[in-house]
Amino acid sequence: MAKQPKPPASERAKQAMSGMMGDVQGSQAWASIFRPGSIFRKGYSDSPRNRSYVIMNSVLYHLHPVKVKRHAVKVSYTLCLGGLSFFLFILLTVTGIFLMFFYRPTAAQAWDDIYVLQTSVTFGLLVRNMHRWAAHLMVITVFLHMARVFYHGAYKPPREFNWVIGVILLTLTLLLSFTGYLLPWDQLALWAVTVGTNMMGFTPVFGDQVRFVLLGGVEIGTDTLLRWYVLHVLMLPFVIVIFMAIHFWRVRKDGGISGPL
């Protein structure tokens, strides 16, 4: 009896894998996850039709159209600043959620929590560093994005209102950064915020009230910490996400990013 030569192990593994993938991709669960036309259902080979399907049949369709003007993808025009600001926001959200697991916003515990985070938590120091540097970076990219838009005259009709939204986003970014500044509850945080809020206390007519609302009292204290913590991790992100949604939506509705000069 002639023995059938066995195919090499790599070949057999490949066959088993493709068989398994076929089972998985043919299953109802897989079909329920990926929409008809998704490249994860029908496979991807490079064709104009499939290039459209990548966007059309994924959640990315909420952010991007299927096609954009050719100049819109030129890095030298946008410098990616708007997109990078958004990406830094995501990075800050991810690292910020990590930090929230180890932080209590009270005057008695805040500083100790940060100290323990840096010394005893795996990657704690690294993630805190990333959160802080990404925050400064985001202020810079948002600011540069505004300058870029101005110099291109991209705020002109029909994009006037999106510029207004953009200035609001810049203000919210600064507020997010500033509220986060207090949270470590060290000398730097305390006195930087003291200087900042003293300035706001000079608002005409109701300056004292503004300061009282911001600080949750007449002086910076544990109430201020809680207040700014809630602002920083919940309220301001909530507001800025809404404005970002409007901002991105308007970019598309106003005909994509502005044309070349």
Partner 1 sequence: MAEVPEHLLKRAQEARERAEAQQGGGSSAAPESSGAESSEAPAEGSSGGPKIPDHLLDRSKSAREQAAAGGAAPAAAGAVATASMPAGPAQPEPTGPGGGTQRLLTVVKSGSIQDVKATPTDKVHVWPHLLVVEFVAALIFTAFTLVFSIFVNAPLLELANFNETPNPSKAPWYFLGLQELLTMFHPMVAGVTIPGIGLFLLILAPYIDRNPSKKPEDRKFAISLMTIHLMFWATLVLIGSFFRGPGFNFVFPWEVGLFFDL
Distance, CA of 148 to CA of 145 (rounded, Å): 5
Which stretch in 1-9, 19-27, 188-196, 238-246 sits in contact with partner 1 by CB under 8 A? 188-196
Binder among 18, 120, 198, 209 for partner 1 (CB under 8 A): 198
153 torsion bin: left (phi>0), alpha (psi -120 to 50), beta (else): left
Residue pointed to by tokens 């002639």: 2
Number of residues that bind partner 1 (CB under 8 A): 82
The total number of residues shown for the chain amounts to 261
Cβ–Cβ under 8 Å, residues 237 and 121: no
Cβ–Cβ under 8 Å, residues 51 and 64: no
Q: Would you say 30 or 163 has its CB closer to partner 1?
A: 163
Binding mask 50-69 for partner 1 (x = CB under 8 A): -xx-xx----x---xxxxxx
Q: At what angle do helices 236-253 and 81-100 cross, to 10 degrees?
A: 160
Q: Using alpha carbons only, give the angle 96, 88, 231 rounded to the nearest 5 degrees.
A: 45
Residue pointed to by tokens 């207004």: 164
212 binds partner 1 (CB under 8 A): no
Which stretch in 4-12, 98-106, 195-203, 230-238 sits in contact with partner 1 by CB under 8 A? 195-203
Task: Please measure the distance between the N-terminal and C-terminal CA atoms of the chain and give it in whole angstroms.
Answer: 80
Q: Would you say 88 or 233 has its CB closer to partner 1?
A: 88
Q: Would you say 14 or 126 has its CB closer to partner 1?
A: 126
Binder among 171, 208, 209, 253 for partner 1 (CB under 8 A): 171
Q: Cβ of 24: how many Cβ atoms within 10 Å?
A: 10
133 binds partner 1 (CB under 8 A): yes
What's the min distance (Å) between Cβ of 226 and partner 1?
15
Binder among 20, 33, 97, 199 for partner 1 (CB under 8 A): 199
List the interface residues with partner 1, window 134-163 (CB under 8 A): 134, 136-137, 139, 147, 150-157, 159-160, 163
167 binds partner 1 (CB under 8 A): yes
Cβ–Cβ under 8 Å, residues 82 and 258: no
175 binds partner 1 (CB under 8 A): no
What's the min distance (Å) between Cβ of 64 and partner 1?
5
Distance, CA of 237 to CA of 92 (rounded, Å): 10
Q: Would you say 30 or 143 has its CB closer to partner 1?
A: 143
**What is the chain's Cα-based Rg?**
26
Binding mask 69-88 for partner 1 (x = CB under 8 A): xx-xx-x----x--xx--xx
